[in-house]
Amino acid sequence: MREVAILGVGQTAVREQWDRSIRQLAVAAGRAAMQDAGVERVDAIYVGNMTSGLLNQQMQLGALVADHLNQHGVEAVKMEAACGSAGSAMRQGLLAVASGELDAVLVIGVEKMTETVFKETTAALTTAADADYEIIHGVTFVGLNALIMRRYMHEYGYQRPDFAPFALNAHSNGAKNPNAMFQEPITQRIYDKGRIVADPISLFDASPIGDGAAALLLVPAAKAPQAVRITGSASATDTLAVHDRHDLLWLTAAELSAQRAYAQAGVGPQDIDLFELHDAFSVMAALSLEASGFAERGQGVRLAQEGAIFPDGRIPICTMGGLKARGHPVGATGLYQLAEATLQLRGDAGAAQIPDAKIAMTQNIGGSGATIVTHILQRP
């Protein structure tokens, strides 16, 4: 297998994009990545997306995007794994280049979510759960994560204010990222006053949806000796229904994908300079840190309280706002994580730059942990 590099990066701001369609968002990010790479023609386009059929009445995103990028005739396909769609598309693009089958692959994550009413958007997101055993009972992802957070608090003795560092870090970092939805830091007092959405989850424990697209241009590393390398990549699954899991407070798919990615890259948690984790909810950030080896079981929140997750800490997370402040355009999120990690390793993260970052890790979660994709990137 060939080593693969990221030659180009492109992204749009995450906003309520009233004036841009899903095709326009995808094309804007894809074109930006191609221009950044100095490439005019690609061999394939993989598009990560979750809700286009339900919310935009548009399938066949692969062919649609290829058409409007003037890449007629190339292989192009949409890939879906709920909120893990973009990370999954990235992995397939990586494998296509690593295998030697293709030499230039454009991977795009895109989502257009804000032009439908709340009820329709919530229903579309809920399709990532088990239709026969969860959705039929009216479950939502906020509700599922509230159950998980409540159990975490019960088992390990935390209170809701203890989770504040995750939101404080995200909003502080988002203020340094012009593409982030939220551009203002928050305080502990603001966090404590957050409206409860599903007890114990407040507005500041849950990420906002948005419209946006991010893209990467992948090539063999031999053709781009100065580009950021992808040295580890793995995907794993767990039960779709949360109630079927042996342990509600352990992300098995995160543990499996992280361990496989570490082994491929020849590194461990102690070597990672920054971690773009999937903080759709505060409790998921804690569980990801634990399952990926950065904290012992039940100590993810303690790690945050000690300041280790902040830019000057031992393991900076969500360095450009994460899902909480940058926003969570679900099917695009995994590519935003990878784009931001790449910018960090290139030294192009602006005010959000982590000094001397050499190795970055990203982790994209589909559903409540049913699909988890981990990537490790390294500076050449």
Residues labelled catalytic: 83, 328
Measure the CA–CA gap between 31 and 109, rounded to whole angstroms: 13
Q: 239 CB contacts (<8 Å, ≥6 apart)? A: 245, 370
CA angle centred on 172, ends 229 and 202, rounded to 5°: 110
